[in-house]
Amino acid sequence: MVIIMRPDANLPEVEAVVASVNALGFRAHVVPGLARTAVAVIGNPGPLAPGRFSRIPGVARTIPITTPYRLVARETREAPTRVTLGAGPVFGPGNLVVLAGPCAVEEAEQFLATAAAVAQAGATVLRGGIFKPRTSPYSFQGLGLAALPILARAREATGLAVVTEVVEPASVEPVAEVVDMLQIGARNMQNAPLLRAVARTGKPILLKRGPAATIEEFLLAAEYLVVEGNPNVVLCERGVRGFDPATRYLFDVAAIPLLHRLTHLPVIADPSHATGHHALVPSVTRAAVAAGADGVLVEVHSDPGAARSDGQQSLSHPEFDALMRSLPPICAAVGTSLTAPMAHA
């Protein structure tokens, strides 16, 4: 159940609601909103009688939540959540945040060159994996913590916000000290200890959909983060396992508007991992923008043919630039715009 407070409810009234929830042996999670505060009841085994709360001063109404996720549900918070990276880009309605960079950080000068290229083309978030959760143990696993100074340098040189993936709780803290956003990869979407460790940093989180995760499982993974006290969660549709290896995964474009209906969290798309092929990435990126994505994550490499991971799906610098130039009309059609003015516009 979610208890919706009146717009003019004061703090003691909200606290009284929290106390009455706690008195029943349940947890209360206060969800602030622009127009009103909501109090989500957590831990109740079954439906609660609305009469318990509706007479408390300041309470407007109660809503039964029928989904197993609560804090991320649209009913709990009517205003879309905006997730801000430091002083930089904001994920939320009206903005299209472009996250770009190589699959993996391979070498400093090359990474800096790609960082400069994607910034010039209009991206506002730089990606680059230092821990690569590869399918094969024989594939390049990333440079690890030793590459953190490279991420810091690129951030300093370009002013881009930086996102990178963490794969184990032990490295979450040192990575969180350097980057603006922590990524939880598709393979770790249901790794509860990792989800909790990342949430506790308070840093914005990019949560990728597991390759075989239902939408409900995806939202429950996000619930792990928010219930831990971190509301700064961005969801990423990156394709699910299909039957046909012609594309790497099956890009679920309907997930974007569906998630926007079910949750207040921002939703972005990753056409690179979804398609697995550079020739398909521009069209699918445009489809994601047209479907209302709050951002797109695109792998870009200075020399895709020589990349140590995911070269086949990476765009070259000129290909990325061309893609970026094609986005403004689509953004305009769906009422969004690129977060930073494009240098060449």
Contacts with Mn ion, residue ranges (CB under 5 A): 103, 310
264/233 Cα distance (integer angstroms): 10
Under 8 Å between Cβ of 116 and 158: yes
Q: How many CB atoms lie within 10 A of CB 336?
A: 22
CB of 130 to ligand PEP, least distance (A): 11
185 binds ligand PEP (CB under 6 A): yes
Q: Which is nearer to ligand PEP, 133 or 159 (CB)?
A: 133
Residue 162 interacts, among ligand PEP, Mn ion, none and using kind-specific CB cut-offs from 5 to 8 Å, with none
Q: Which residues pair with 59 in a beta bridge?
A: 5
Residue from 264, 273, 301, 308 that binds ligand PEP (CB under 6 A)?
Answer: 273
Nearest to 275 by CA among 258, 252, 301, 295: 252
Nearest to 17 by CA among 32, 39, 37, 33: 39
Nearest position to Mn ion, beta carbon: 103
What's the rounded Cα separation, in Å, for the pair 251 and 120? 28
CA within 13 Å, CB half, 189: 24
Residues numbered 225-244 forming contacts with ligand PEP, rule: CB under 6 A: 238
Question: CB 249 → ligand PEP: shortest distance, Å?
Answer: 8
- Name which of Mn ion, ligand PEP, none residue 238 binds, using a CB cut-off of 5 to 8 Å depending on partner kind: ligand PEP
Check residue 281 for interaction with ligand PEP (CB under 6 A): no
Nearest approach in angstroms of CB 207 to ligand PEP is 10
- Minimum gap (Å) between residue 273 Cβ and Mn ion: 6
- Give the x/- contact pattern for ligand PEP in 78-117, rule: CB under 6 A: -------------------------x--------------
CA 98/CA 285 separation, integer angstroms: 10
Q: Is residue 208 within the footprint of ligand PEP (CB under 6 A)?
A: yes
**Would you say the C-alpha torsion 155, 160, 164, 169 has a positive or negative sign?**
positive
Instruction: Name the residue among 166, 249, 172 with its Cα closest to residue 213.
Output: 249
**Identity of the residue, 71 or 215, whose beta carbon is nearer to ligand PEP in the bound complex:** 215
Chain residues in the site for ligand PEP (CB under 6 A): 103, 129, 133, 185-187, 208, 238, 270, 273
